[in-house]
Amino acid sequence: MLGAAADPGHKMAHAPVQRLKTMKMHRVGIIGLGKITQDQHVPVIGASPSFELVAVASQRGLTVPGVPHAFTDYAELLRLADVDAVAVCTPPQVRHAIALDALEAGKHVLLEKPPTATVSELAHLERIADGRGLTLFATWHSQFNPAVDEAREFLASRTVRTMFVNWKEDVRRWHPGQKWIWRAGGFGVFDPGINALSIVTKILPEPIFVQRADLSFPANADAPIAAEIAFTGRGKDQSLRAEFDWRQTGPQTWEIEIETADGKRLQLSNGGSRLVVDGKLVVESTPEEYERIYERFDELVRTGASDVDAQPFQLVGDAFMLGRRTIVEPFHD
Ligand code: NAP
């Protein structure tokens, strides 16, 4: 469906739209109109002072009211000269090929998380963007919480003694019918788990490394439904662990607990939006992750920079590399 802005017959009606367009700096297209596009990208771009949504590409032929261009083949979107940037919101398996085409068409690229199917693909995109002077932004939405920034600042001058990442949710509730998530390159429980790891790599003052991983694969899936990971850090006598599980019904858990060597106890909960230190609430905010993502994208494009943090993705890759596999009962949606 085409919106009124595409109708050339109403010149008077166009005046405010044209004024708005000149104020917005970047004309963006979205590839893949699934859940996260509809929940976040479309409304957030719509309210952004810096971005204007001018085109969408949907295999299923979905459209967005008021957006002038809609294609089923993303290659047609990339041929539009007035698209400066694209957000690639498909599943990760196909993202490298699409992002590569976009960069080669001269577009700045925003990648949903996890950015690609493999670490090498991400490094390749980074090189191509760099060589062409384009922005590549590998987003990690959970990093864009004020409580995460606060936790990073709090830990910057401290030594971490223990960390427990407890990330357990009901896959049937959050990913109904998503077949790609169970295929190779869909990452299974690491799809939400990598959000936790993106917080961890942002807030910890030192790098951590996967020491051991136990991965539970449903007998009928290529991706795990649960994972337990032990990490090593650079400090002595540290206990650093993560548990991800997609079989949790009832209350959902997205928490990170950290104890420091100077006896402080930090709890990040609600997916990184609430920070409590020693029992005292420090920050709790309503989610504005995608608003902040598009502010950052604007800044990156304006300054000619890229933001590609491969650390969370590398940890997932390492967990797959080192992980011991256990086959568990088949999963049916
Ligand atoms: P989704 O609802 O399954 O949507 C993905 C969309 O990508 C599909 O609906 C399809 O849209 C398009 N697509 C293009 N090529 C495809 C292919 N080969 N197979 C399947 N779909 C293809 O998934 P989603 O939840 O939006 O997640 C997309 C990405 O965003 C994932 O990497 C996920 O981790 C990330 N993310 C999701 C959430 C969330 O809450 N769901 C939150 C943050 C990040 P068209 O038919 O329109 O082309």
pLDDT score at 18: 42
Please indicate, yes or no, if residue 298 is contained in any of the structural domains.
no
Name the pairing type of β-strands 324-328 and 280-284: unpaired
- Asked whether residue 3 is assigned to any structural domain, the reply reads no
> Does 310 fall in a domain?
no
**Structural domain tally of the chain?**
2
Annotated catalytic residue within 21, 24, 113, 264: 113
Q: Which of 31, 36, 121 to mutate to test the pocket of ligand 1 (most atoms within 8 A of CB)?
A: 36
**Of all protein residues, whose CA lies closest to atom 37 belonging to ligand 1?**
36
Task: Tell whether 284 and 150 lie within a shared domain.
Answer: yes
Note whether 192 and 323 are same-domain residues: yes
State residue 27's pLDDT score. Answer: 98
113/100 same-domain check: yes
- State the pLDDT at residue 23: 56
Please say which residue of 141, 164, 188 terminates a domain: 141
Same domain assignment for residues 150 and 221: yes
Question: Is 113 noted as a catalytic residue in this protein?
Answer: yes
Q: Are residues 218 and 281 in the same domain?
A: yes
Residues 6+ apart with CB under 8 A from 94: none
254 shares a domain with 187: yes
Q: Where are the beta strands (DSSP E) in the chain?
A: 26-31, 51-57, 69-71, 85-88, 108-111, 136-138, 160-168, 209-218, 226-232, 239-245, 253-260, 265-269, 274-277, 280-284, 324-328
Q: How far does residue 131's CA lie from ligand 1's centre (Å)? A: 28
Which residue owns the Cα nearest ligand 1 atom 16? 90
pLDDT at 117: 98
Given a contact cutoff of 8 angstroms between Cβ atoms, the answer to whether 30 and 85 are in contact is no
Atom of ligand 1 nearest to the CA of 90: 7
Domain finish residue from 109, 141, 173:
141
Question: Could you tell me if residue 190 is inside a domain?
Answer: yes
Q: Please check whether residue 20 lies inside any domain of the structure.
A: no
Quote the domain boundaries for residue 152.
142-289+316-328
Q: How far is the CA of 273 from the centre of ligand 1 (A)?
A: 23
Output the residue whose Cα is nearest ligand 1's atom 14: 90
Three-state DSSP class for residue 243: strand
Q: Tell me: do 193 and 324 sit in the same domain.
A: yes
Domain boundary among 94, 116, 141: 141
- Same domain (yes/no): 163, 277: yes
What pTM was estimated for this model as a whole?
Answer: 0.93
Residues 260 and 324 in one domain: yes
**Cα–ligand 1 centroid distance for 132 (angstroms):** 27
Please report whether residue 2 resides in a domain.
no
The pLDDT, as a whole number, for residue 236 is 78
Give the atom of ligand 1 at the shortest distance from the alpha carbon of 141. 43
pLDDT of 104: 98
pLDDT for res 75 = 98
Secondary-structure percent of the chain, ordered helix, strand, coil, rounded to 5: 40, 25, 35
* Closest ligand 1 atom to Cα of 93: 18
- Return the pLDDT at 8: 29
In this structure, the answer to whether residues 133 and 183 fall within a common structural domain is no
CATH code for position 285: 3.30.360.10
Residue nearest to atom 6 of ligand 1 (CA): 34
The best mutation among 42, 90, 294 to test binding of ligand 1, ranked by most ligand atoms within 8 Å of the C-beta, falls on 90
Asked if 180 contacts 93 with a C-beta cutoff of 8 angstroms, the reply is yes
Q: Give me ligand 1 centre to Cα 91, in Å.
A: 5
Q: Each residue's pLDDT tens digit in the chain (333 positions)?
A: 323 233 322 333 333 444 444 457 999 999 999 999 999 999 999 999 999 999 999 999 999 999 999 999 999 999 999 999 999 999 999 999 999 999 999 999 999 999 999 999 999 999 999 999 999 999 999 999 999 999 999 999 999 999 999 999 999 999 999 999 999 999 999 999 999 999 999 999 999 999 999 999 999 999 999 999 999 998 778 999 999 999 999 999 999 999 999 999 999 999 999 999 999 999 999 889 999 999 999 999 999 999 999 999 999 999 999 999 999 999 998
Residues 154 and 185 in one domain: yes
Pocket of ligand 1, candidates 59, 290, 291: which has the most ligand atoms within 8 Å of its Cβ, to mutate? 59
Q: Which residues line ligand 1 (CB under 6 A)?
A: 32-37, 58-60, 62, 89-92, 94, 112-113, 141, 178, 180, 191
Average pLDDT, the chain: 93
Q: Which residue type does 113 have?
A: K
- Cα separation, 27 vs 292, in Å, equals 18
Query: Which residue owns the Cα nearest ligand 1 atom 41?
Result: 36
Q: What is the CATH number of the domain that holds 45?
A: 3.40.50.720
Residues 132 and 148 in one domain: no
Q: What pLDDT is stored for residue 234 in this prediction?
A: 83
E strand spans, 206-278: 209-218, 226-232, 239-245, 253-260, 265-269, 274-277
What is the spatial distance between Cα 67 and Cα 3, in angstroms, rounded to a whole number? Answer: 6
307 and 138 in contact (C-beta within 8 Å)? yes
Q: Determine, yes or no, domain membership for 6.
A: no
- Distance from the CA of 231 to the center of ligand 1, in angstroms? 30
> How close is the Cα of 164 to the center of ligand 1, in Å?
29
For the stretch 135-153, pLDDT in tens is 999 999 999 999 999 999 9
